[in-house]
Amino acid sequence: MARKAGLCSGDENPVVETLGGGVSNVVLLVRARRGAWVVKRTLSQLLVKEVWLADRSRIFTESACLTLIHDSMRGHPAPAVVFEDRDLYACVLEYSGTEAAPGSRTFSRGL
């Protein structure tokens, strides 16, 4: 997906690490020559004991909200949305340099 988003070249092998803490998404940190980004991809079944199904398209609502906050609020904690992949139910977000997944700790403090 990093190549599809134009974040790295075809001959580059970006470093990918899993960022923990999520039950509803796979959250990855992708580091390439041009920079680093967070990739969030929704899960259709949440990672909990019970069977809990969720609409994967929720990532696009989150992406739209992050874009609105990023574009309209000065001093906002919202990362910029760099790319959306509607086939993979995923988005690529700018990386702030902290290990927290976007939305986990930042938004738990409130806006």
Q: Is 69 helix (H, G, I), strand (E, B) or coil?
A: helix
Q: How crowded is residue 44: how many other Cβ atoms within 10 Å of its Cβ?
A: 10
Confidence bin at 28 (pLDDT 50/70/90): very high
User: Hey, what CATH topology would domain 15-109 get?
Assistant: Phosphorylase Kinase; domain 1 (3.30.200)
**What integer pLDDT is reported at residue 110 of this predicted model?**
37
**What integer pLDDT is reported at residue 73 of this predicted model?**
86
Which one has a higher pLDDT value, 92 or 4? 92
Assess whether pLDDT exceeds 60 at residue 100: no
- pTM beyond 0.85: no
